[in-house]
Structure 1
Amino acid sequence: MTPPEHPHRPAWFDISTPDAARARRFYQDLFGWPSNVLDDTYALVGDADGRPAGGIGQAGPDSPYVGFVAYFPVDDVDAALARAEQLGGTRVLAPVDTPVSRIAVFTDPDGNHVGLISR
């Protein structure tokens, strides 16, 4: 499912929280992350060179999850999600296209949120 050119480490992360502004301030103060606020609901955060490494989003009442999710790179989000479900995972966020990638989120058999991403 994951070819050798894909490292087995996260490619992206999201922090979904009921108070995104507070979370942005916290992580900026803790790690010095620069923040690029896209709108009232989402901000890109990254390293000193300005490349985004993840995002902090505003969780609303219909948000599929709250908390930290690491996204792992795969060639085909839909196929990887189907495989995760076959292995006992549960779909949390159906595959969706973003401006730069395709993502999905599932919980593993222990309830941990895991993201999938393809570019």
Structure 2
Amino acid sequence: MTSTGSHPTPGWFDISTPDASRARRFYQELFGWTVNTIDETYALIDGDGDRPAGGIGQAGPGSPYTGIVVYFTVDDVEAALASAESLGGSRVMEPAATPLGRIAVFADPDGNHVGLVSH
């Protein structure tokens, strides 16, 4: 699997919750995050420079997961996802294009949700 740099590192986080408004307020007050609400379902968390560091989204009945998922930066989301599956992981969210790059989510053999992102 190829990655940006010698080893994949966290490049994004996502908090998916049944009450996104409450979660935005909670983390904004707890950590002093600047929260930029896109709409009632998603908000971006400011990072260093001009790139956001993560987001908080509204989980609904069709959401692939709830909770916090860390996205690791890789060169090729599809290849990394295939590699995870060959090692015993299972696909949770199909690769998708976003304004930040391609993303996907898998569950590791213990059921932990892990994200992949390519910029």
Q: Do both share a fold (TM > 0.5)?
A: yes
Structure 2 CA distance for partners of 1:112 and 1:49, relative to 1, 3 Å: same
Task: Provide the residue aligned with 1:66 in structure 2.
Answer: 66
Task: Provide the residue aligned with 1:15 in structure 2.
Answer: 15
Q: Distance in 1 between matches of 2:111 and 2:52?
A: 27
**Mapped contact 2:12–2:72 kept (Cα < 8 A):** yes
CA deviation profile, 1:11-33 (whole Å, cap 9, x unmatched): 00000000000000000000000
Name whichever of 41-50 and 56-65 sits farther off.
Answer: 41-50
Q: Distance in 2 between matches of 1:34 and 1:69?
A: 19
Secondary structure of the residue aligned to 2:30 is helix
User: Does 2:80 match 1:116?
Assistant: no
- Amino acid in structure 1 at the alignment position of 2:79: A
Task: Provide the residue aligned with 1:85 in structure 2.
Answer: 85
What stretches of structure 1 of length at least 5 have no aligned partner?
Answer: none
Identity %: 67
What stretches of structure 2 of length at least 5 have no aligned partner?
Answer: none
Structure 2 CA distance for partners of 1:82 and 1:116, relative to 1, 3 Å: same
- Amino acid in structure 2 at the alignment position of 1:16: S
Structure 2 CA distance for partners of 1:62 and 1:37, relative to 1, 3 Å: same
Measure how far apart 1:59 and its partner are.
0.2
Q: Distance in 2 between matches of 1:48 and 1:85?
A: 33
Runs of 4+ in structure 1 off by over 6 angstroms are: none
Q: CA RMSD in A?
A: 1.6
- Amino acid in structure 1 at the alignment position of 2:93: L
- Amino acid in structure 2 at the alignment position of 1:15: I
Structure 2 CA distance for partners of 1:79 and 1:50, relative to 1, 3 Å: closer
- TM-score, normalising length: structure 2: 0.93
Measure how far apart 1:40 and its partner are.
1.3
**Mapped contact 1:14–1:55 kept (Cα < 8 A):** yes
- TM-score, normalising length: structure 1: 0.93
Task: Provide the residue aligned with 1:46 in structure 2.
Answer: 46
Measure how far apart 1:51 and its partner are.
3.9
Alignment: residue pair count? 119
